Structure 1
Amino acid sequence: MYQSPLMSLPGITPEEYSYLQQATTGLNEQQMRAFLMIYSGKRKNPSDMLLFCLLGLFIVPGLQRFIINQIGMGILYLFTIGLCFIGSIVDLVNHKQLAAEYNQKMAFESLQMIRLSEMR
């Protein structure tokens, strides 16, 4: 039975799988390998995001925001102690959504890189 190469991504959720399947429609095998190589290096596993949120709550406020390239929010969390812990707790509850939004951005960037390399 055929198993999609997308299933090799650790901690992939059904929503992420569905999104990636739609986004990579039309890519040939070589492009798909290149996409997976780029995307797997950039994506954040939801369970890793949970760990970053816990560290952001107890040790370094805003760490989770720095990890997902939201530098301004990370600095704000850092100087306000996670918006008085409320923002850090909200991020802890919504860690899967934070990871999913970041991963969608990274999938889009990875696809753009693949398409740009084709134009050359």
Structure 2
Amino acid sequence: MDNSFQNNPYMGLPGITPEELAFLQQATAELTENQQKYFYMNYTSKRKSPQDMLIFCIVGVCLVPGLQRFITGQVGMGLVYLFTAGLCFIGSIMDLVNHRDLAMEYNKKMAFESHQLAKMSS
């Protein structure tokens, strides 16, 4: 494996946390070089940075309640937020405060999907 890819290609991702970096390194440890490259391409196209999630949450509070939930694939919760004005703004404000956790939860799901696809790609 070439050094540039092995030396943490994930470090260039916007808003990456040490927790996410460790999770990704552990998830890709057993993959071959080609599988790791496939994982990286797939994961980076789906990943949401904490900053992006913050923007979605702000728009969710101000304009479209539940936008952040729709973006993360939680359509049921998105509809609940939409029809209850973000659970009377409390849910939307909680999501705003916890936007990093929302991003991490979503990114872990995307890492799992990308890992499965990478394992099948060889």
By the TM > 0.5 criterion, same fold? yes
Matched residue SS, 1:69: coil
Structure 1 residue 8: Cα displacement: 2.3
**Structure 2 stretches lacking a partner, 5+ long:** none
The separation in 2 between residues aligned to 1:44 and 1:100, in whole angstroms, is 8
- The alignment status of 1:13 with 2:6, answered yes or no, reads no
2 CA distance for matches of 1:24 and 1:6?
11
Identity %: 62
Unaligned runs of 5+ in 1: none
Q: Larger relative contact order (C-alpha < 8 A, sep ≥ 6)?
A: 2
Q: Which residue of 2 aligns with 1:110?
A: 114
Query: Which one of 63, 87, 98 corresponds to residue 59 of structure 1?
Result: 63
Tell me how many residue pairs correspond in the alignment: 118
Q: CA deviation at 1:83?
A: 0.2
For residues 19-98 of structure 1, the aligned pairs below 5 Å read 19-98=23-102
TM-score where L is the length of structure 1:
0.94
Q: Alpha carbon RMSD of aligned pairs, Å? A: 1.2
Matching residue's letter, 2:87: L
Return the offset for 1:5.
1.1
User: What code does the residue aligned with 1:27 have?
Assistant: L
List structure 1 runs of 4+ shifted beyond 4 angstroms: none
